[in-house]
Structure 1
Amino acid sequence: MPAVAPETLAQTLVDHAPTVRAAWLDAAADELRGRTTRGELEREQTDIYDALVDGLRAGGTEVSAEAFDQLRGILADVSAARARLGFTPRETAVGMFALKEGLYALAGSPDAMAGLVPLLRLVDDLGLFTFETFASAREAIISEQAEQLLELSTPVVKLWEGIVAVPLVGTLDSARTQVVMEKLLNTLVETGSTQAIIDITGVPAVDTQVAQHLLKTVVAARLMGAECTISGIRPQIAQTIVALGIEFGDIRTRATLADALVDALREGRRSPAGVTA
């Protein structure tokens, strides 16, 4: 059987638009019940349907064809919006795959069905494109949220005039250390502080890698003219540091944040630019 021309497929969609779109809307609305309104779904399908017809009229036969640029853009926007709203991959892809229900409504005979095969294959490809763009959008959102959580998990607080603290909680890895360093250095510049306390009371364990991260942060702060104190050295952590042979050199360490703050206040009194408690 000769291939059906895209223009013929476009005309089929135009001639049977009421039937196809009604069945498509019913199938999608039934699957997405409660997730979106029927009116919103109908407006979304109108844009997709019109772009599909235009692409076929322009000679498009593959999803990647230039004729379907507008359609791909619409599907990408829909996928991204649903990813932000928390839709599942199935709920997103079914919006496109449900168009097949509308096409099945036209298959009154074997010949009619054969003529619709190219359209059915195209809908399958469009459904897969929708799924792939949804996955990419969701990965981008997850990555953005992870960065936001990382920012929130590494606060730099001003304890006193000229004194800032970084209370760390959880595992300290390379990515988080970079954030800690950047936030600490920026805060030192913004506040003009000369004393910084890095509190590791909430860090479950200190190994060689964590120690190296801490040392790099202290060195970076010193280059900015600030002195650092590492507090929260619990007995278990102290024993681990000794067992690993980790050297903190001349870096000041204290058992608690309170002890570190007392030392920082004393240093501030000694400094000509320091504060007087």
Structure 2
Amino acid sequence: MTTARVWFITGASRGLGRAFTESALATGDTVVAAARDLEPLADLAAAHPDRLELLTLDVRDREAVYSVVDRAVDVFGRIDVVVNNAGVMLLGMVEEATEEQIRDQFDVNFFGAVWVSQAVVPHLRAQESGRILQVTTMGTGGGVASTGFYGASKSALDALSQALAMEVAPFGITVTIVQPGGYGTDLFTRGTTDTRAISHYEPLRAQLAEMWGGGPGPDPSTAAPVIMKVVDLAEPPLRLIVGGASFDMVQQLEAARSDEYRNWEHLSRQAPG
């Protein structure tokens, strides 16, 4: 596109959200940055007072989401790119998690993105254009011990986004499910809630710690150029794994799943349907 775009980014103050915000501003685009804590964006707001609008938002609040989206359209006249990036991590075994923890995981990671998607689609449909980027995870193809609820919330968003893509395509709206790997964001620190550990899982917890003990992942800024290329594509992909190592890992997981299906094909075919 040759004209400046208007972005609406949730979870914009840190990690991938901040990296996407910085990249959009660097290209001359305008960004509506929504987050619960906007203080980390003060420097960017000072540097781009006319092209960065900061709006406080808790995506769990559906009414607030609609209000903030409407305000963004009122101020800038349109929204071209929507990035549902807000997310939190619940770390712990399935047995350990409380109802409150589980519901909060889904309220942010799944329902928050749903509320934003519902709020923006009427505006995008009216302008007959728009791009929605749903940030999920490379792990949406299956669950991993201790991150089951995180993966489940992102997998739910993945499935819903595929349906959404089919529904909005006739209106000139595209949906891309962005599946990043383990970038060095604060998702695993500030954004993480730990369950109350049950001692029976300590051996597994130690095994997982050894598997994941490789230190912080790549800087989030290294993912932003890929996203900028995606929004420039006339026909963007429905799903995109972000990260070469993550791509290889997902391919291995998909191959293992396919092998398991084939190994038990003889049993599957004993039932009609």
Give the greater-gyration-radius structure (CA): 1
TM-score, normalised on structure 1? Answer: 0.31
Where relative contact order (Cα < 8 A, 6+ residues apart) is larger, the structure is 2
TM-score using structure 2 length: 0.31
Higher helix share: 1
